Structure 1
């Protein structure tokens, strides 16, 4: 049961944002910029980073929503997302994506600089300054989103196809128009 009273029965962050459009607008704009704006990373790769950080934070709603959005946009689909969640080092991704997932994991773990070795490995796999910037900012933002969702004990969806529909909606329409 959520820690606050919501005037709707929407799950996860959707219920929070529907209740508070004043905070939803900038949060959705940030998500839209990070996950859909210009970047050397594909939209699917950025959704995968968001899903992976959410998985590490044990935020089921965000991990499954962004996992579905990643699956809808990446070759390999749901199987690839599951493989990354299980072990990103053995998942069938590019060396660059694997290296960036390691960067994201360090950002998620604690608020200290990513290690020089992890940055060097990402650069050796082809990461540019923009790859690193975008990965760190996505990981940091999703730590915030995850804490918002988990900290208020939001409800999980009950519809069995909720996440697949969310993935399709996000892929088609993004975040900025969500409120």
Structure 2
């Protein structure tokens, strides 16, 4: 049970969904941010951006965000959940591009502290083919997910029962995005 009364059945609305329904005024900007970062135009695929969110969430030990964004990433990556789990468990051995690995290292540094992002991490990402916009967006996704993780865990909300419970939600998010979570239609 969450630390505050959210006015919803937390088993039906786990994790961030309860707080979004509790406070629609803040739900709008938060879902707009998620929609822009994870689904907007970008040279990184939606699956790669969801993987960054899942990876940061796993480093922050946020069960809800780790499991949900792992499912969302898996639904949009050809290699599915086995790849997501491998990245979370052992980034160095995961079969991903050097560019994505370098960006995930930047995201990992942000999860610890923004000051942990070094010139060397950025240079490694550039040498692997990452552009300034991809580096920027990786830092912003990581920073946003630090906030989302702390929002979910700071209110003591419950995760869904099992990681598999997120698979159906993943289909909805992949098809419709994040805006319906705030009770709004996706923008054109």
TM range (shorter): over 0.9
**Aligned mate of 1:76, from 79, 104, 113:** 79
Map 1:1-179 to 2 at 5 A.
1-9=1-9, 10-112=13-115, 114-158=117-161, 161-179=164-182
Two-structure CA RMSD over aligned residues (Å): 1.2
Instruction: Supply the distance in 1 between the matched residues of 2:115 and 2:167 (Cα, whole angstroms).
Output: 35
Cα deviation digits, residues 20-52 of structure 1 (max 9, x gap): 111111100000000000111000000000000
Unpaired runs of 5+ residues, structure 2, are 183-188
Q: TM-score, normalised by structure 2?
A: 0.92
Deviation at 1:111, TM superposition (A): 2.8
Instruction: Supply the distance in 1 between the matched residues of 2:135 and 2:161 (Cα, whole angstroms).
Output: 36
Aligned residues: 179
Instruction: Supply the distance in 2 between the matched residues of 1:162 and 1:168 (Cα, whole angstroms).
Output: 11
SS of alignment partner, residue 83 of structure 2: helix
The structure-2 alpha-carbon separation of the partners of 1:66 and 1:160, relative to structure 1 and needing over 3 Å to count, comes to closer
Instruction: Supply the distance in 1 between the matched residues of 2:162 and 2:107 (Cα, whole angstroms).
Output: 30
Verify the 8 A CA contact 2:68 2:163 in the aligned structure 1: no
The structure-2 alpha-carbon separation of the partners of 1:37 and 1:57, relative to structure 1 and needing over 3 Å to count, comes to same
Instruction: Supply the distance in 2 between the matched residues of 1:111 and 1:32 (Cα, whole angstroms).
Output: 22
